[in-house]
Amino acid sequence: MSQTVTTPKKILVLGATSGIAQATCRIWAAQGASLFLVARSAEKLAAVAQDLQVRGAGFVDTAVADLDDTEQHPALLAHAINALGGMDIAYLAHGILGDQEEAEQEFNAAAQILYTNLLAPVSLLTWLANFCVQRRTGTLAVLSSVAGDRGRKSNYVYGSSKAGLSVFLQGLRNRVDREGVTVLTIKPGPVKTAMTAGMAKSSSFADPDQVAKSIVAAIAARRDVLYVPFLWLPIMFVIRHIPERIFKKLNL
Ligand SMILES: NC(=O)c1ccc[n+]([C@@H]2O[C@H](COP(=O)([O-])OP(=O)(O)OC[C@H]3O[C@@H](n4cnc5c(N)ncnc54)[C@H](OP(=O)(O)O)[C@@H]3O)[C@@H](O)[C@H]2O)c1
């Protein structure tokens, strides 16, 4: 079986200071890619941009933006693509875990998780998909999560934001595939990044560099869905098929 492997050229990264995004960008930088990085912390963003330049990126530019500010998305995206001189890949990596216990008590805490992880990406992807369809090319690669495959008491608010995102991406793929546009849904299991820093680590936590390698390969191969590490595909298959009358009794 032959795979199409193309070197990424012009890449827009939203949430570029994320641990997984940084690891992914390090690989792209070493390939000489042009990168436009968006993040909300100017200080962290400057450090990431400098590192990627040293690692061989052909071009690096940045914009500081809170991605919850959906009103700004059209201007931000147009500016970024103009600076890059086009766009081969948009990589959406921003997100929050939130506090499940707080979200069980406070609607605003739940709404924040849903806004950042679902509504803001929908705003970005609506603009980006239409841009790609007009040009009949481009890849939209988006970090969802295995947490969206089944609601669990320990993180169902975060999980529902990712479930909504995964279904949105599924429908978007069904719409734009015929227009020459690729949509990749990335479903990592737990990864060692700032997001999971407060959690008790187990051997099931993946290394961001390994996760990033799989993401770069999946984008190059124009895949639709990536479970990463791969073991999460059979694990989630089993979890999705546990009958609800049993599942509701489990402590997951
Ligand atoms: N780590 C895991 O176990 C895991 C598993 C499955 C899926 N994921 C998903 O993978 C993605 C990346 O997560 P990560 O593990 O790399 O975590 P991370 O290092 O905590 O990165 C999350 C990033 O999102 C940014 N962000 C949050 N809200 C934002 C906003 N309103 N505007 C702009 N940027 C914002 C954060 O910026 P600041 O640094 O400024 O806060 C941070 O750079 C997320 O979508 C996450 O849900 C992670």
109 part of a folded domain: yes
232/155 Cα distance (integer angstroms)? 17
172 part of a folded domain: yes
Q: Is residue 207 lining ligand 1, measured as CB closer than 6 Å?
A: no
Q: Give the per-residue pLDDT at 2.
A: 47
Q: What are phi and psi of 180, to 5 degrees?
A: 85, 15
113 part of a folded domain: yes
**Ligand 1 atom at shortest distance from the alpha carbon of 147:** 6
User: What would the pLDDT profile of 120-135 be if each residue is shown by its tens digit?
Assistant: 999 999 999 999 999 9
Q: Is residue 64 lining ligand 1, measured as CB closer than 6 Å?
A: no
| Positive/negative CA dihedral, 33, 41, 204, 112 | negative
Å from CA of 116 to ligand 1 middle? 10
CB 131 within 8 A of CB 78: no
213 part of a folded domain: yes
User: What would the pLDDT profile of 171-222 be if each residue is shown by its tens digit?
Assistant: 999 999 999 999 999 999 999 999 999 888 777 799 999 999 999 999 999 9
Q: Express as a percent the part of the chain with pLDDT over 70.
A: 97
Q: Is residue 159 lining ligand 1, measured as CB closer than 6 Å?
A: no
pLDDT of 5 strictly over 70: no
Average pLDDT of the chain is 96
Q: Give the per-residue pLDDT at 199.
A: 86
211/217 Cα distance (integer angstroms)? 10
Domains in the chain, number: 1
20/144 Cα distance (integer angstroms)? 12
Q: What is the pTM of this model?
A: 0.96
1 part of a folded domain: no
163/167 Cα distance (integer angstroms)? 6
Determine the straight-line distance between the first and last CA of the chain, rounded to whole angstroms.
39
Q: Is residue 32 lining ligand 1, measured as CB closer than 6 Å?
A: no
User: What would the pLDDT profile of 212-249 be if each residue is shown by its tens digit?
Assistant: 999 999 999 999 999 999 999 999 999 999 999 999 99
225 part of a folded domain: yes
Q: Give the per-residue pLDDT at 200.
A: 80
105 part of a folded domain: yes
User: What would the pLDDT profile of 74-86 be if each residue is shown by its tens digit?
Assistant: 999 999 999 999 9
Q: Mean of the pLDDT values across residues 161-167?
A: 98
**Ligand 1 atom at shortest distance from the alpha carbon of 195:** 20
Question: Which of the 8 DSSP states describes residue 217?
Answer: H
227 is catalytic: no
Q: Give the per-residue pLDDT at 8.
A: 55
Q: Give the per-residue pLDDT at 244.
A: 97
Q: Give the CATH number of the domain where residue 214 resides.
A: 3.40.50.720
**Ligand 1 atom at shortest distance from the alpha carbon of 94:** 24
Q: Give the per-residue pLDDT at 252.
A: 87
65 part of a folded domain: yes
Residue span of the structural domain in which 49 resides: 10-247
Q: Is residue 39 lining ligand 1, measured as CB closer than 6 Å?
A: yes
